């Protein structure tokens, strides 16, 4: 079975699981991100060859703060649980990842940062930004289309930081929980910066969520 097919099938199963847990209830949503965070901390601790216990604790605290923000995203000011708020971000990031992967794999010629992540290309970055822009347009409307490229850039930054960590520790993947994708850090590294930025933007901009009517 080809790498692309394995990656696609694994991603589809994982995607259905994430969407289901986010939509089912606030409790399953919280459980999802708690498990993601615990596994990410475990991967960091196991994968870090020369990291002190203090560094692991700092990383754990940062992950806990990140987890709290993610869990809180679907809650509106009125106290209602709106999964469309979180799913809109998740789907935009997945669109960015997919666009970057397929465009980069097919047309990537100019390396983005070969010393850190040899597989990434400028073509892939553009493809990811374009795919994210399309997703943002469908989910939030034309006025917020620019969020797609912004999140694609933030996601790439998070990905490169994790790639640098893996390179310094001699790792190909942070883990092996997802065939074709690696570990939890590999799957969610793009959310490191997008989640807090999205959290801030939600309080500053008038968002309309196309998924809200679909999920109700």
Two structure tokens written together for 92:
């935009």
Provide block-wise average pLDDT over 10 residues at a time, the chain (216 residues).
Answer: 69 90 97 96 92 91 98 91 97 96 89 90 96 98 97 97 92 76 87 97 95 83
Two structure tokens written together for 122:
């400028």
Residue 180 CA to residue 171 CA, distance in Å, equals: 15
Two structure tokens written together for 77:
């000011």
Alpha-carbon dihedral 29, 30, 36, 38, rounded to 10 degrees: -160
**pLDDT tens by residue, 162-196:** 999 999 998 887 877 766 667 899 889 999 999 99
Residue 198 CA to residue 215 CA, distance in Å, equals: 21
Per the DSSP assignment, residues forming a β-bridge with 182 are: 178
Please enumerate in sequence order all residues whose Cβ is within 8 A of that of 164, keeping only pairs 6 or more positions apart, or say none. Answer: 116
| Per-residue pLDDT, 157 | 96
pTM value surpassing 0.75: yes
């Amino acid at each position: 079975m080809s790498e692309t097919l394995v990656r696609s099938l694994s991603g589809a199963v994982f995607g259905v699981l994430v969407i289901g847990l986010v939509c089912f209830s606030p409790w399953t949503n919280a459980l999802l991100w708690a498990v993601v965070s615990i596994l990410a901390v475990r991967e960091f601790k196991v994968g870090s060859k020369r990291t002190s216990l203090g560094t692991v604790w700092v990383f754990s605290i940062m992950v806990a703060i990140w987890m709290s923000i993610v869990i809180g995203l679907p809650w509106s000011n009125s106290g209602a649980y709106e999964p469309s708020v979180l799913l809109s971000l998740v789907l935009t990031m997945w669109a960015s990842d997919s666009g970057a992967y397929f465009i980069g794999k097919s047309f990537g010629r100019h390396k983005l940062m070969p010393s850190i992540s040899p597989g990434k290309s400028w073509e892939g970055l553009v493809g990811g930004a374009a795919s994210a822009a399309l997703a943002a347009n469908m989910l939030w409307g034309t006025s917020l289309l620019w969020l797609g490229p912004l999140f694609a850039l933030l996601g790439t930054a998070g990905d490169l930081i994790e790639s640098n960590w893996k390179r310094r520790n001699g790792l190909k993947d942070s883990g092996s929980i997802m065939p074709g994708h690696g570990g939890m850090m590999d799957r969610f590294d793009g959310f490191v910066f997008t989640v807090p930025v999205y959290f801030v933007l939600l309080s500053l901009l008038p968002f309309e969520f196309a998924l809200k009517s679909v999920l109700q």
